[in-house]
Amino acid sequence: MSAAFPIALFIVVATIWAAAVIVSWRLLALFLRRAGDDADIPAVLREPERHPEKLVFFFRRSTVPRLKAEPDLWRLRQVLAVLLVLGLVVPPVGFAGLFLVALNLAATPAH
């Protein structure tokens, strides 16, 4: 098996994860810019430290109507959702594919 396959898998996964981080930053920045000083926004969203709430907030049921009201926010949230799902699915599927290819190569007799 060529080393290109694992390297390609690494590049694909890293790209998906980096894109998810960038989209998450953009979504948070755009949301905070448009929200202004609303009292119902958790304070942790405005703090500079990293916190899981900054991601989870956009997937709460209570936040969905507010995001749907603004097409740009809703589109970024949907893109982020797709990237997060891909980031969870692609690595195990890719490694399973690599494993199956390695098993197949190991089972074929050498000429």
DSSP state of 110: P
8 A C-beta contact, residue 95 and residue 9? yes
Other residues' Cβ atoms within 10 Å of the Cβ of residue 5:
14
Per-residue confidence (pLDDT) for residue 79, from 0 to 100: 98
What is the pTM (predicted TM-score) of this model?
0.85
| Total number of domains in the chain | 1
Identify the CA nearest to 24 among candidates 68, 79, 85: 79
The whole domain housing 80 covers 4-107
For the stretch 39-82, pLDDT in tens is 778 888 888 888 888 889 999 999 999 999 999 999 999 999 99
